[in-house]
Structure 1
Amino acid sequence: MKVLTEILKRKYNLNSVEEISKVVMDSRKIEKNSLFIAINSGNNYIEEALAKEASLIIADNYSGDNEKVIVVEDSVLAIQELALQYRNELGVKVIGITGSNGKTTTKDIIYSILSQRYRCKKTEGNYNNHIGLPFTILQLEDSDEIIVLEMGMSSFGEIDTLCKISQPNYGIITNIGDSHLEFLKTRENVFKAKSEIVKYVDSDKLLVCGDDFYLKSLNSLTVGYGANCKYQITDFVDSDNGIELTLDSNHYNVRLNGEHNCLNSAMGIIMGERFNLSCDEIQRGLGSLNLTPMRFQKIEKGETIYINDAYNASPISMRYSLETFDRLYNDRVKIAVLGDMLELGEDEIKYHREVLEKANSIKVDKIYVYGPRMKKAYEILEDTKLITHFSDKEQIKAEIRESFPQAKAILLKGSRGMKMEEIIEG
């Protein structure tokens, strides 16, 4: 990280500093020659960082006199400013991805495709906010060419902040859904907040879902199933083995399921085309895809297949998961285990009731629900013959074991706070 080291020397008027080899915010990950950025409680670990021979420390609460510690007014602002300068001096191409659903999967797909030719980095885990995004940028190495950044938000102004830090060259808005209604109140407001990325990206480098009511109104590239889309998906097939699709007269196979993941894949394909990758390179990227866990992740335990889609949930992502589950594994017992959706505001019970009505309409043998919101929705639902509410996840596990010893497929879906993946045996 010679470029970053030189930036630090100039920015803070340092006569000399050991070359930075790693940037960390967690003191447990400090190694020799690390840059440690002490944010919030991280200021309590400055002495530990010095003992571990960090090259440099940026902190906003330090009263000592060690020359390795740079004291700033605000560590969060410091990491944002440093990330912007580093991004600009490296000259990497930045792809920013926002949307209500599908951000992480789309990010993983684009990264896998572009990595077939370019040196790339991507957002890891949930580092998609005003601290995580600049930290991700600071993971870049001097030889990297592209970074794929996930941009999360829960209120107005947050996407704008992330764009100011990252200065995206390309942008993607996956869709507009009902996430964050507790804070933003209406889907129109969600659209306004997500579309803050628009002013940072040229229209011919902004890709959106053209089937989305709000997004199709933007001056941008559109992709979707509708004939009005610039890039139209055709010949879509979904099976236990994955999906197939045709885009721009080229046929592709992806080891994912669902119309929503077909759309996410199409966005990755188009981005590969924008970076001049061949069809073969794009297909290799799709074939070597390594998804972030808990996004319709298939886990086999004996004769049981768990579909772990439990990273998060909203009304639209619940519908996507249930519609996809409807088409799969119809040669065995199928159980949908659904947990509460959080941050939906005053109409949350209505959204939960609609999810249960959708679950009742698909090919499924049993529906188990967990959480107080699901319970309230269950109690006002007219048709509950397939549905059982449980207040304990261990009870759900026991019911599955005792009632269905045969081969089965189990869908797990709920908001992150519900931790539905805990139902997986072993």
Structure 2
Amino acid sequence: MRIEELYQCFLQCDGVSIDTRNITPNSLFFALKGDNFDGNNFAQQALDQGASFVVMDNKKLVTHSDKMFWYTDALMALQELAKYHRQQLGLPIIALTGSNGKTTTKELILAILSKKYQVKATQGNLNNHIGVPLTLLSFNEDTDIGIVEMGANHLGEIAHLSELADPDFGYITNFGKAHLEGFGSFEGVIKAKSELYTYLENNYKLAFTNTDDTLQDIKTMTFTRYTFGTEPQNDLVIEEYKAQPMASITTQKTLFNSNLTGIYNATNIAAAVAIGTYFKVPISDCKTAIEQYIPTNNRSQWVEKGTYKILLDAYNANPSSMEAALDNFIQLDSKGSKTLFLGDMFELGQNSSEEHVTLIEKLNKIDNLTIYYIGNHFFEHQQVQPKSFFFKTYNDFAEVFDSKTMDENGIILIKGSRGMALERILDLI
């Protein structure tokens, strides 16, 4: 089936579905495969539940020639359709990647640009080889600007996603120690994330650059770019970064307060404001958008339970984001003690032991902390230290933990990799 023919089917539909558990009426269903499922087996079910057309890659299961379309690879069909749709719309697209802060920065950019434009962006963290095509296919003729978040854990993925999205603008939040198992090393992370820079440079597109990040500054020096930072030569000069208690910036003699914690979020705010000013959003509207944004989804999110004040940052963790979160939490003012619940950091490969030990030894040097380390990686490297407790599994921890032992006037940090699901601790407090 030719992509042009598939596109005509897509235009007749109200959306795209890939899961029969949440089929939308009059949708185009793609029968994707996974390690433990084959969407081809659910093609008829998709039609029965309201899908108008199905794209399959198992010809033997095609039973309705007018509604079931065979493609050599259903995932490839989804990606090619998304790329073709992007080309037909021709709208400006901002691509976003980086080791930490992608989703928060995306949400901040969305909040600011939405003050002036009709904007659509990646939903949640649908930022991989399936999520990016779904994001592109959600854009329509009413969309003024699209924002596409791109994630990766192997070399070549950002390059592939860039080819699909064909971004006009790009921003890399930072280069950190994330997915070291897939990238092999920190140098591998830099190389992988920089695939977005390569695409922008080769296609004469614009990079948004934080010049206070030396690596970003050097790598985009010859690009068409729009810069922000503390030096006076930047397109947007940041007069001050602060993070006590919440992240804020001052630029163009305007103070931007936020509901985000940590100096790292001040940088995310600055990036969003820079992109907003590039697109001529009034600075007063940028300020309103930032100050109205409330973090959700377990990302740098303050939660109150009784008298306890809890910083919930349990969406993900890697050495870079963990260090930033800990540095921020340690310097926060508190009337009482400070308690940390830290979960294992995943996908670190051969660096795992070193990174977990480094974190433990860092915290051993800091007084007045009660620390619960949860997960096998921490457990394997446990050290005898006052007020430090190690648990191999979450269940081991949950069986013995008693929140009554905590200082009711203190503050709490919960942080770990997504697979640890440490937000469950809230139910124990």
- TM-score after normalising by structure 2: 0.89
Return 89-98 or 153-162, whichever deviates more: 89-98
Provide closer, same or farther for how the CA distance between residues 172 and 277 of structure 1 changes in structure 2, counting only shifts above 3 A: same
Distance 1:258 1:265 in 2: 11
Number of equivalent positions: 415
What pairs up with 1:110-259 in 2 under 5 angstroms? 110-201=109-200, 205-219=206-220, 220-224=225-229, 231-240=236-245, 242-259=246-263
Which residue pairs with 1:37 in the alignment?
30
Distance 1:349 1:131 in 2: 32
Q: Which amino acid aligns with 2:335?
A: D
Which residue pairs with 1:57 in the alignment?
54
Q: Tell me, which stretches of 5 or more residues in structure 2 are unaligned?
A: none
Distance 2:274 2:90 in 1: 22
In the TM superposition, what whole-angstrom CA distance separates every residue of 1:93-143 from its partner, at most 9, and x where no partner exists? 111111111111111110111111111111112311111100111112321
Which residue pairs with 2:317 in the alignment?
313
Q: Does 1:11 align with 2:28?
A: no
Q: Secondary structure of 1:378's partner? A: coil
In the TM superposition, what whole-angstrom CA distance separates every residue of 1:165-199 from its partner, at most 9, and x where no partner exists? 00011101111111122122221221111011113
Provide closer, same or farther for how the CA distance between residues 38 and 264 of structure 1 changes in structure 2, counting only shifts above 3 A: same
Which residue pairs with 2:13 in the alignment?
20
In the TM superposition, what whole-angstrom CA distance separates every residue of 1:359-385 from its partner, at most 9, and x where no partner exists? 345575301101121123333xxx722
Answer yes or no: is the 8 Å Cα contact 1:109–1:265 preserved in 2: yes
Q: Secondary structure of 1:217's partner? A: helix
Distance 1:51 1:410 in 2: 49
Pick the aligned partner of 1:371 from 363, 372, 375. 375
Answer yes or no: is the 8 Å Cα contact 2:376–2:391 preserved in 1: no
Q: Secondary structure of 1:233's partner? A: strand
Answer yes or no: is the 8 Å Cα contact 2:315–2:418 preserved in 1: yes
Q: Secondary structure of 2:94's partner? A: strand
Deviation (angstroms), 1:292: 4.4
Q: Does 1:46 align with 2:43?
A: yes
Answer yes or no: is the 8 Å Cα contact 2:62–2:68 preserved in 1: no
Distance 2:131 2:10 in 1: 25
Q: Secondary structure of 1:306's partner? A: strand
In the TM superposition, what whole-angstrom CA distance separates every residue of 1:233-256 from its partner, at most 9, and x where no partner exists? 33323233x222112443211111
Deviation (angstroms), 1:17: 8.5
Distance 2:205 2:271 in 1: 14
Provide closer, same or farther for how the CA distance between residues 53 and 415 of structure 1 changes in structure 2, counting only shifts above 3 A: closer
Which residue pairs with 1:389 in the alignment?
390
Q: Secondary structure of 2:255's partner? A: strand
Q: Secondary structure of 2:138's partner? A: coil
Which residue pairs with 1:81 in the alignment?
80
Return 181-190 or 264-273, whichever deviates more: 181-190
Provide closer, same or farther for how the CA distance between residues 169 and 185 of structure 1 changes in structure 2, counting only shifts above 3 A: same
Deviation (angstroms), 1:225: 5.1
Distance 1:278 1:17 in 2: 37
Distance 1:197 1:137 in 2: 17
Answer yes or no: is the 8 Å Cα contact 1:393–1:423 preserved in 2: no
Answer yes or no: is the 8 Å Cα contact 1:323–1:362 preserved in 2: no
Distance 1:319 1:303 in 2: 27
Answer yes or no: is the 8 Å Cα contact 1:18–1:55 preserved in 2: no
Distance 2:78 2:260 in 1: 36
Distance 1:54 1:173 in 2: 37
Answer yes or no: is the 8 Å Cα contact 1:113–1:269 preserved in 2: yes
Q: Which amino acid aligns with 2:351?
A: D
Q: Tell me, which stretches of 5 or more residues in structure 1 are unaligned?
A: 1-7
Which residue pairs with 2:362 in the alignment?
358
In the TM superposition, what whole-angstrom CA distance separates every residue of 1:78-107 from its partner, at most 9, and x where no partner exists? 111111111121222111111111111111
Provide closer, same or farther for how the CA distance between residues 10 and 36 of structure 1 changes in structure 2, counting only shifts above 3 A: same
Q: Which amino acid aligns with 2:347?
A: E
In the TM superposition, what whole-angstrom CA distance separates every residue of 1:37-94 from its partner, at most 9, and x where no partner exists? 1111221111112212322211112331341111111111111111111112122211
Distance 2:181 2:321 in 1: 17
Answer yes or no: is the 8 Å Cα contact 1:333–1:365 preserved in 2: yes
Deviation (angstroms), 1:405: 5.7
Pick the aligned partner of 1:413 from 412, 415, 423. 415
Structural RMSD (CA): 2.5
Distance 2:10 2:316 in 1: 43
Return 94-103 or 49-58, whichever deviates more: 49-58
Provide closer, same or farther for how the CA distance between residues 69 and 286 of structure 1 changes in structure 2, counting only shifts above 3 A: same
Answer yes or no: is the 8 Å Cα contact 2:7–2:85 preserved in 1: no
Distance 1:330 1:124 in 2: 35
Answer yes or no: is the 8 Å Cα contact 2:169–2:200 preserved in 1: yes
Return 358-367 or 33-42, whichever deviates more: 358-367
Provide closer, same or farther for how the CA distance between residues 69 and 222 of structure 1 changes in structure 2, counting only shifts above 3 A: same
Distance 2:362 2:209 in 1: 26
Deviation (angstroms), 1:9: 9.1
Which residue pairs with 1:261 in the alignment?
265
Which residue pairs with 1:325 in the alignment?
329
